[in-house]
Amino acid sequence: MRQRTRAFALRNRNTTITIDFDIAALRRIGLTHAIAARLAIHDRGTPARVAAVHRNALVLHDGTQEFPARPHPGLDTLPAVGDWVLFDHNDLGEAWVHTLVDPLNELARRDADGARQRLAANVDTALFVMGLDGDFNPRRLERYLMVARSADVSPVVVLTKGDLVDDADAKAAQLGARLPPAIPIVRVHAQEAGAAALLAPWTGAGQTLVLLGTSGVGKSTLTNTLTGAHQPTGGVRKGDDRGRHTTTSRSLHLCAGGACVIDTPGLRSWQPDGDEDDVNAAFDDIEALAADCRFHDCKHDEEPGCAVRGAVDADRLRNYHKLLREVRHAAATPLDRIAERSKWKVLNRMARARAQAKRP
């Protein structure tokens, strides 16, 4: 067994409990005071951070190394990359995760059945990676920004592949004019070391970033650039680890700058996990302007005296309405929808029966 420093002791209901904490090591993988406080309410197990999630197995990082572990069947929520967990070894020496530490935040989406799927947890910054080539799609980006807003994660827009197209400047300018100025937009060449310098404000020690975007936009390339794949940085995944599961799982890597970066596989469908308030928050530029519309219930459509139409990018406004419709639809759970459908079936049947009874 490796030597560990028994560095953390806490007083909990008059008993001093000691969890095996190697603070310096855990700091390397993003331990903060807030997380330490949440770890400390538990009195059993060894803390680690989830570095990757495979179908039925986890890869944990204890600040020094990565190792496989299994989620205990008793866990009601499956850990996601970035989660902090507590594990114990069984008699066979296998690591079993028995406790999921309450996350500070989490990014999630809804799958086709409306079930919530956690993508990453305990994230400071989401890098939304979009190509300036055929991938360029401001509406999709606004959808991502809404997810970030609802999860309380600060967003950074990262535009790649500008070197491959002629209209990169025009597209970047268009996006800058469309999005609220508070959202940082960074243009990078994902393979070049300069990308790491441009993203340095968000990659300092103790920070956790997640890379999100469609397949092929350069997330893995950017991860390699940020982690300085060739530099020997402590717990960086070994060369032979990569490529086995990277396209089907989310995994945590250590940046040269000290941050943890979570690479995710390209997301094909992205049903945001949010409600009307989240949409309104993500489009707060529209909300702010709407205060000056003549009618308080202005739909910013054809109403006279509208302060939004003309001031906000027309497609952004359309996307805002589209996302509002979507979250209202999603708010009806599958059961609600079934109930709704059967209600209509009954009403239709009654209407048919009435029509038949009226026939001579």
Ligand X SMILES: Nc1nc2c(ncn2[C@@H]2O[C@H](COP(=O)(O)OP(=O)(O)OP(=O)(O)O)[C@@H](O)[C@H]2O)c(=O)[nH]1
Q: Which residues contact ligand X by CB under 6 A?
A: 160-161, 163-164, 189-191, 213, 215-221, 247, 265-266
Q: Tell me phi and psi for residue 201, to 5 degrees.
A: -55, -20
Choose from ligand X, Zn ion, none: what does 298 bind? Cβ within 5-8 Å by kind.
Zn ion
C-beta of 192 vs 315, nearer to ligand X: 192
Q: Which of 153, 300, 320, 323 touches Zn ion (CB under 5 A)?
A: 300
C-beta of 26 vs 306, nearer to Zn ion: 306
Report the nearest approach of ligand X to the CB of residue 214 (Å). Answer: 7
Site string for Zn ion, 249-288 (x = CB under 5 A): ----------------------------------------
Q: What CA–CA distance (Å, rounded) separates 205 from 227?
A: 13
Q: Are 287 and 316 in contact (CB under 8 A)?
A: no
C-beta of 149 vs 189, nearer to ligand X: 189
Choose from Zn ion, ligand X, none: what does 293 bind? Cβ within 5-8 Å by kind.
Zn ion
Does 189 engage in binding with Zn ion (CB under 5 A)? no
Q: What CA–CA distance (Å, rounded) separates 17 from 42?
A: 9
Q: Which of 298, 312, 317, 327 touches Zn ion (CB under 5 A)?
A: 298
C-beta of 164 vs 351, nearer to ligand X: 164
Backbone CA torsion sign across 193, 197, 198, 202: positive
Report the nearest approach of Zn ion to the CB of residue 308 (Å). Answer: 4
Q: Are 124 and 151 in contact (CB under 8 A)?
A: no
Q: Tell me phi and psi for residue 120, to 5 degrees.
A: -160, 150
Does 306 engage in binding with Zn ion (CB under 5 A)? yes
Q: What CA–CA distance (Å, rounded) separates 295 from 307?
A: 10
Range 307-336, binding Zn ion (CB under 5 A): 308
Q: Are 153 and 183 in contact (CB under 8 A)?
A: no
Q: What CA–CA distance (Å, rounded) separates 7 from 290?
A: 54
Run of H or E residues at 25: helix 23-28
C-beta of 243 vs 304, nearer to ligand X: 243
Report the nearest approach of ligand X to the CB of residue 262 (Å). Answer: 12
Q: For tokens 């993203």, what's the residue?
A: 199
Report the nearest approach of ligand X to the CB of residue 216 (Å). Answer: 4
Does 293 engage in binding with Zn ion (CB under 5 A)? yes
Report the nearest approach of ligand X to the CB of residue 160 (Å). Answer: 4
Choose from ligand X, Zn ion, none: what does 99 bind? Cβ within 5-8 Å by kind.
none
Residue 252 bridge partners (DSSP):
262
C-beta of 28 vs 161, nearer to ligand X: 161
Report the nearest approach of ligand X to the CB of residue 219 (Å). Answer: 3
Stretch that binds Zn ion, among 194-202, 264-272, 306-314, 317-325 (CB under 5 A): 306-314
Residues in contact with 145: Cβ distance below 8 Å, sequence separation at least 6, in sequence order: 128, 155, 179, 183, 282
Binding-site annotation, residues = 160-163, 213-221, 293, 298, 300, 306
Residues in contact with 58: Cβ distance below 8 Å, sequence separation at least 6, in sequence order: 50, 52, 68, 69, 70, 71, 79, 85, 97
Cα Rg of the chain (Å, integer): 24
Report the nearest approach of ligand X to the CB of residue 175 (Å). Answer: 16
C-beta of 68 vs 310, nearer to Zn ion: 310
C-beta of 156 vs 286, nearer to Zn ion: 286
Q: Are 79 and 100 in contact (CB under 8 A)?
A: yes
Choose from ligand X, Zn ion, none: what does 119 bind? Cβ within 5-8 Å by kind.
none
Q: What CA–CA distance (Å, rounded) separates 200 from 257?
A: 7
Choose from ligand X, Zn ion, none: what does 226 bind? Cβ within 5-8 Å by kind.
none
Binding-site annotation, residues for GTP = 160-163, 213-221
Q: What is the DSSP string of 157-214?
A: EEEE-GGG-S-HHHHHHHHHHHS-TTS-EEE--TTSTHHHHHTGGG-BTT-EEEEE-S
Binding site for Zn ion (CB under 5 A): 293, 298, 300, 306, 308
